[in-house]
Chain A
Amino acid sequence: MTTDKTPSEGHVDDAGRLGAGADPDVWEVFRQEKDGEPMRHAGNVRAPDRELATHYAREFYSRRNESVRLWVVPRTEISDLADPDLLQPPLDRSFKRPGGYVMRDKLDAAKKRAAESAE
């Protein structure tokens, strides 16, 4: 049988908080590689307070000068949304994408028609 052992990673609570019941000492780290790049998730560290978490983050994620900025966030404060009913509803949403408009044949027909009427 499977037991739900989730002591450290926690679970999503009713308010959508990622780490309800999580280890309060886990901090998620985001890093920016160069100015203008997006902040990307780098990993996480465990530390009893913000100051030590920041030191760890710096040691782990920029000791080779590989980051220009770090964000250090308590895991318990992240809101997690992964509900497929909200994010991936089973609807055809092709009309919201450029690829949803296939007009090759229509365009050919329109051009032909225009050319003919110009004659």
Chain B
Amino acid sequence: MTDPLSLAPILSPDDRPTPLFADPDLTHEQRYDAFVEHVHGGQKVEARDWMPDEYRTSVLRFVEMHANSELMGVLPEREWIMRAPTLKRKLALTAKVQDECGHAQLLYRVAEDLGKTREQMYQDLLDGKTKFHNVFHYPTKSWGDVGIIAWLVDAAAIVAQQALRDSSYGPYARTMKKICWEESVHIMHGRDVVVTMMNGSQAQRDMAQEALDRWWGPLMQMHGPRTDPAKDRDLFWRIKEKTGEQLRQEFLSTYVPRLWEVGLYPPDKELKLDEASGEWRYTEPDWQELRTVVTGHGPKSQERLDFRRLHHDQTAWVRQTILATPAPA
């Protein structure tokens, strides 16, 4: 028989599982501090939890930018669906485009629960008020680009996305698990396209190398300039777990050897692994180009946004029809 005395309460209020920040009797400062402690302790935040505005805004901005990038990211690839070299490639590319559109929908859903409507997010994207990733502002010139995008752009993205599976914001972390699972297929598809080209004719090998030359600059810019981790609010809130430079180093460590082994060479003479520090050295990416491109001044920024606007207008009747309240019979 259990000692009857043990039936008495034994946990102090502090040891109880309710997060302290959920206590409405505390002052805003106390709740804020408790919330910071909660996320710094590696615990999760759910959609209906109390959260400081600073946190809500940061998660929303981060997820919205991610959603925008998935939505806009399909445009360079969709241009190649009708030009895919075989039926199998066409099926795979179509499936990838569908996946990315699906990721956008899942992410907009996460963002909606933070308090901004999907319609507003679409509108802000079309108005150029919110951003999408730099790599989706460039043209695709050959089938080689399709392989390099699916392999390396998705690879650069997945190193970031894998770290997001540990995000402090629970709904985002869970969604990233599903997204990473699907992205891993895209990387295999892209690598398969590139390796197939490398086994082909000299012209095909040249095409793959040219595509790599074109995409290397944007790829190196993708994770952004080195920043002071102490000043990074997204790191502070544990929305993301790693700095841009950490992600770039991970990307280089995994993918540069895989490029070299099939005879592809990134167009950077400075690129090498510094054995002593274990870090990759590279020519400083063109950060001015990054800023220009993500503010909507890239080579294809406006064309892609125009295309999205056109489709938004052309499909308006579908939304109106479906969302219309049926007239009472």
Q: Which positions in A face B, CB cutoff 8 Å?
A: 1-3, 5-12, 23, 42-46, 48, 52, 56, 59-60, 63-64, 84, 88, 90-92, 94-95, 100
Contacts and interface: CB of A to CB of B under 8 A. Distances in A.
B48 A2 contact: no
19 contacts: A1-B53, A2-B28, A2-B50, A6-B48, A6-B115, A9-B48, A9-B113, A11-B48, A43-B175, A44-B109, A48-B322, A60-B102, A63-B98, A63-B102, A84-B18, A90-B15, A91-B8, A91-B9, A94-B6
B28 A43 contact: no
Contacts of A59: 102
B50 A92 contact: no
A6 B51 CA distance: 11
Contacts of A52: 322
B276 interface: no
Interface string B139-156: 000000000000000000
A90 B9 contact: yes
Contacts of B90: none
Q: List the 8 closest A-B pairs by CB distance, nearest first.
A: A95-B2, A5-B115, A90-B11, A92-B6, A9-B47, A90-B9, A84-B18, A9-B113
A60 to B, nearest CB: 6
Nearest to B53: A2
A1 B7 contact: no
A97 to B, nearest CB: 11
B162 interface: no
Main secondary structure of the interface of A (DSSP, over half): loop
B174 interface: yes
A1 B178 contact: no
Contacts of A23: 112
A8 B113 contact: yes
Interface of B: 2, 6-11, 15-18, 28, 31, 47-48, 50-53, 56, 98, 102, 105-106, 109, 112-115, 117-118, 174-175, 178, 182, 322-323
A12 B113 CA distance: 15
Nearest to B51: A2
A43 B9 contact: no
B63 to A, nearest CB: 13
Contacts of B117: 7-8
Nearest to B54: A2
Contacts of B28: 1-2
A90 B115 contact: no
A57 B66 CA distance: 21
B91 to A, nearest CB: 13
B51 to A, nearest CB: 7
Contact of A90 (B10, B112, B178, B322): B10
B109 A45 contact: yes
A43 B174 contact: yes
A57 to B, nearest CB: 12
B93 to A, nearest CB: 15
B48 to A, nearest CB: 5
A52 B112 CA distance: 18
B323 A48 contact: yes
A91 B106 CA distance: 40
A26 to B, nearest CB: 8
Nearest to A12: B48
A88 B47 CA distance: 21
Contacts of B102: 59-60, 63
Given A2-B53, A3-B53, A84 B109 contact: no
B322 A60 contact: no
Nearest to A89: B9
B68 to A, nearest CB: 17
B112 A8 contact: yes
